[in-house]
Every structure is written in structure tokens, then in C-alpha cells.
Amino acid sequence: MRIHFTNSGTKVSFLPRQVAESIPFSSDKVPEILNYFALQVNSKEAQVIRDEIGGCEEPNMEGEEKFCATSLESLIDFSVERLGRNVRVLSTDAGKKQEYTVSAKATMIGDHKAAVCHKMRYPYAVHYAM
């Protein structure tokens, strides 16, 4: 399968869980992943795949619980396990590149439980959640 890497501002879709689970996602399977997506071993795209998978495989920091979700179902499962079923989903879109000034500490309302995630650079939607 030939792929085109999108920039981080471009939307890519989650794969259904069954499809996502059929595609390897681990550093010891990088040659298979590159072959699946028809990527050259020394290409920039191949390095992006290595970097992103490597980030997912790094040990958790103290108190951190992280997960790389390769399907929407797995992201939901992770969130429900951490937060339960009565949740509120919030989303942001990054605007244009600019400088920001933080002027005050933000406070969370409620029980302070949250699952935060961001999309990763990958041929299909993969989200790093913690």
C-alpha cells in the first residue's frame, strides 16, 4: 500500500480496530511496517515511523499512564477505563503558528480526572493518550 504522509494539520482517519490490529505497530516490526506502506528504509517517512513508535515504547514516567491508540475503539477503551462512562469530550484546533504568553495557572473544574491525547505523525490516525 503506498501512502502519503500528511502534515500534522491535515486530517487522517482512524482505521477500524480489526484493520489497525492487522498492521504491526512495534519497533521490532519496522521492516514489516515499511514494506506494508511501500516505504524505503532510509526515507524521511520511515524515520517518522521509527520515531513515533519509539515514543510509544519509551517507559512511562513516574505516575504516567500512556497509550498509543491505533483505532478509535482502542482510544475509547483507554478513556473509559481511566474515566468511566460519564465523560465530556473537548477538542481544540491549533491555529496559526504564533507566540503565546501564559499569564495565569488554569484550574480544572470537577474531580480533575482527564485523559489527554494528541495525534501522531503516522500514515493513519494514531493518538498518544495519557
Q: What is the pLDDT of residues 18-41, one digit of tens each?
A: 999 999 999 999 999 999 999 999
Give domain status of residue 57, yes or no: yes
Domains: count for the chain: 1
Task: Output the pTM of the full model.
Answer: 0.75
Enumerate the β-bridge partners of residue 119: 127
Give domain status of residue 7, yes or no: no
The answer to whether the beta carbons of residues 14 and 125 sit under 8 Å apart is yes
Q: List the strands of the sheet with 127-129, edge to edge.
A: 67-69, 127-129, 117-119
Give domain status of residue 28, yes or no: yes
Give domain status of residue 81, yes or no: yes
pLDDT in tens, 51-87: 999 999 999 888 888 899 999 999 999 988 888 888 8
- State the residue range of the domain holding 124: 17-94+102-129
Give domain status of residue 10, yes or no: no
CA atoms within 13 Å, Cβ hemisphere of 70: 15
pLDDT (0 to 100) of residue 94? 65
